[in-house]
Amino acid sequence: MKDGKWITMGIESSCDETSVAILQEGRTVLSNVISSQIKVHQVFGGVVPEIASRHHLDNINGVLKQALEEAQVTLKDVDVIGVTYGPGLVGALLIGLATAKGIAFAMKKPLVGVHHIQGHISANYIEHADLEPPFLALVVSGGHTHIVDVRGYNEYEVLGRTRDDAAGEAFDKVARVLGLGYPGGPKIDKIAKEGNPQAVEFKRVYLGKGSLDFSFSGIKTGVLNYLNAEKQRGREINPADVAASFQQAVMEVIVNKAILAAKTHDKKKIVLAGGVAANSRLREMLSYECKREGIDLYAPSPILCTDNAAMIACAAYYKYQEGLLDDLTLDAYPNLPL
Ligand code: KG4
Ligand code: ZN
């Protein structure tokens, strides 16, 4: 029951997860229902935007109903509605947005549009009761690789970003050429545990001294070239070794840049976010380096790393606290900048 406490609803539909969550007081999750379409898209080797939109449409009402039931609240109890309005697939975003706007209009509730990446970062507030800005956020997902200076709940400066592929995108593409299937990140993570990370020396791209930007398209081509060269020589490849070496090369660059950013921007806290934040090697390497440098590391549990509406509700709560509201003209922005 509502119990006099503040209730925030979150809605997320930017890619292939339909999710609705109910939070109490911004950080306590009463429900976080996630309906994943992974199985639907697996046969295509990646997310098909049109199919994603249709499935969001089929799923959203059931997910909403379940989220309310699990939280034991009704729409009347909800004080504010947060919804992802970008970046993401436009048709997919529109389903969540139309649902949020419909409820806001019918129930006369305030509406808050949330940037998907702000949501990923906010997942950490749910998991760590003591966490407050300022801190440095390392956002690694299927669509983004960002180093962000988080100065306040709603004050962000992007210090570095990928110039081509996102980290998760590179994982998905390399997994595909290794025949591991979609989504590739968890598959590479798993198989790499049996491989030697030093077996193949893939190039680490740093883009010049002091740069906090990333580039992952080269390493993807590096893996392809290696596989082709070995095939031409008639040699068997060991997928576990290739996966482990690729993962090591990507994570070394990410970890080194995150530590460099923390040192140059005088940050004592690093917050990990996004789907790739679930990667076991990344967590291991980053936690080792953070300990060495006297930096506190925060990371969400795997369920809050993937796309979910609890993180959107949490971000909406803090936007609402600062009066950052939207109205029913709120639109979807596939390339919304942070
Ligand atoms: O944040 P997310 O769910 O969606 C976006 O906002 O993009 O991230 C999905 C990405 C996919 O590319 C997936 O392969 C990757 O996160 N991923 C992983 C792991 N789990 C998910 N990458 C590496 N290791 C993992 N354990
Ligand atoms: Zn995401």
Q: Which of the four pLDDT bands, split at 50, 70 and 90, describes residue 46?
A: confident
Residue 209's contacts (CB-CB under 8 Å, 6 or more residues apart) are none
122 pocket-lining for ligand 1 (C-beta < 6 Å): no
pLDDT band at 1 (very low <50, low <70, confident <90, very high): very low
CATH homologous superfamily of 7-123+305-321: ATPase, nucleotide binding domain (3.30.420.40)
Neighbours of ion ligand 2 (CB under 5 A): 141, 307
pLDDT at 44: 84
CA of 324 to the centre of ligand 2 (A): 22
Tell whether ligand 1 has an atom less than 6 A from the beta carbon of residue 183: yes
7-123+305-321 and 133-300: identical CATH topology: yes
For residue 27, what are the contacts with CB-CB under 8 A and spacing of at least 6?
125, 126, 129, 314, 317
What pLDDT score does 81 carry? Answer: 98
- Choose among 63, 103, 65: nearest CA to 83: 103
Q: Which ligand is nearest to the CA of 12?
A: 2
Q: Which two tokens stand for residue 33?
A: 């229902």
Would you state the pLDDT for residue 3? 56
Q: Is 119 in the pocket of ligand 1 (CB under 6 A)?
A: no
Instruction: Please tell me the distance from the alpha carbon of residue 211 to that of residue 203, in angstroms, as a whole number.
Output: 17
Q: How far is the CA of 141 from the centre of ligand 2 (A)?
A: 6
Over residues 91-108, the pLDDT tens digits come to 999 999 999 999 999 999
Q: Quickly name the fold that domain 133-300 has.
A: Nucleotidyltransferase; domain 5 (3.30.420)
Indicate the residue type of 180: L
Left (φ > 0), alpha (ψ -120 to 50) or beta: where does 27 sit?
alpha
Name the pLDDT band for 63 (thresholds 50, 70, 90).
very high
For residue 332 the two structure tokens come to 């979807």
Mean pLDDT computed over every residue of the chain: 95
Query: Rounded to whole angstroms, how far apart are CA atoms 20 and 32?
Result: 6
| Sequence spans of domains, the chain | 7-123+305-321, 133-300
Which pLDDT score, from 0 to 100, does residue 289 have?
A: 98
Choose one of 42, 118, 169, 171 to mutate for the ligand 1 pocket test, by most ligand atoms within 8 angstroms of C-beta.
Answer: 171
Confidence check: pLDDT of 47 > 90? no
What is the 191 CA–ligand 2 centroid distance (Å)? 23
pTM for this entry? 0.93
SS (H, E, C) 103-128: HHHHHCCCEEEEEHHHHHHHHHHHHC
User: Does the beta carbon of 184 lie inside 6 Å of ligand 1?
Assistant: yes
Task: Show the beta-strand stretches assigned E in the chain.
Answer: 7-12, 17-24, 28-36, 80-86, 111-115, 135-140, 145-152, 155-161, 269-273, 296-298
